[in-house]
Structure 1
Amino acid sequence: MRSVIRRAVAGGAVLATALVGPLSLPAHSAPASLYAPSALVMTTGHGENAGTAVPERAVTVNCAYTTTGTHPDPRQACADLDRVNGNLDRLATLRANAADSRCTMEYRPVVVTVQGVWRGTRVNYEHTFANACIKDTQAALALTF
């Protein structure tokens, strides 16, 4: 008789766990933020492409709800990114018609890379400038660090 009672209690416990267990767990976890993630790592270095460039500097920019990062001016960098709606090709030539573009014709390539997430979309970008002067006069502030 005791074995029948034990089986009934054990069966009832299993049934109760199966029925009530899922009710005690949250259906979905709430998102950490209502804003799409926007966190980027930007690097610059001398070389023709990212694979051969000697890295010189790397900065971070976080443009979600609050603007943070190691970029010298993260607010302006995020404003530049917003201005071109995340189109990094436009960002590389945003100031191409600048009046102060008196650069030498030397070829000492500088490559800029941007990797991370912009407004929820994965980013993997690379742009090579002929020299540092051209990068500083043509590119938006976001890429001049």
Structure 2
Amino acid sequence: MRYIAKSLLLATTALGIAVAPGTGSAGAAQTGPQSLYAPSALVLTVTAGDDAVNGSVLRAVTLTCKPKAGGTHPDAGAACTQLRAQGARFESIVTADSGVLCTRQWDPVTVTADGVWDGRRVAFTHTFGNSCLKEGADGIVFGF
């Protein structure tokens, strides 16, 4: 029994779940997160091709916005600010036009966002006709 209790303590510590002695029963005060997932944590990718599943991943980063901005995104703070300002509507981020002129060559690039935003599951995919269109429209979130 002592082995099981020690294993549970190690597992909850590794997951960042706070467990105080005497808590954990129904109706008891809970300390720590209500979920195993961060309220706003995403994996963002840029993939060569028009299909994120079959394409070649060129770059991938993590972005955590709550409790604070972080992850491997090169400008996590600005990316979180942009997502909050847009209400995490990725469509509005990727359709913004910065006035960049691009050729019409078809060399598709696909961006994805998978994870959790404000406690809700997020799965977003958008394909640009080429990397110039991506660079001209994606702002900070997919700018890595």
For the aligned pair, the TM-score class normalised by the smaller chain equals 0.7 to 0.9
Per-residue deviation, 1:65 = 2.3
The 5-angstrom pairing of residues 82-93 of structure 1 reads: 82-93=84-95
TM-score by length of 1: 0.75
Q: Which amino acid aligns with 1:50?
A: A
Per-residue deviation, 1:29 = 2.3
Q: CA RMSD in A?
A: 1.6
Distance in 2 separating the partners of 1:90 and 1:122: 18
Corresponding residue number in structure 2 for 1:52: 54
**Moved >2 Å (runs of 4+):** 28-33
Corresponding residue number in structure 1 for 2:16: none
Kept after mapping to 1: 8 A contact 2:111/2:142: yes
Per-residue deviation, 1:138 = 1.0
Kept after mapping to 1: 8 A contact 2:69/2:77: yes
The structure richer in helix per residue is 1
Kept after mapping to 2: 8 A contact 1:43/1:112: yes
Deviations 1:27-69 (A, max 9, x none): 2422338xx7100000111111112211111001100021111
Number of corresponding residues: 117
- Asked which structure has the greater CA Rg, the reply is 1
Distance in 2 separating the partners of 1:78 and 1:25: 34
Corresponding residue number in structure 1 for 2:41: 39
Corresponding residue number in structure 1 for 2:111: 112
Unaligned segments of structure 2, at least 5 residues = 1-21
Secondary structure of the structure 1 residue equivalent to 2:141: helix
Distance in 2 separating the partners of 1:116 and 1:55: 17
Deviations 1:99-131 (A, max 9, x none): 3x1111111000001000001110011000001
Per-residue deviation, 1:25 = 4.3
Say yes or no: does 1:144 pair with 2:139: no
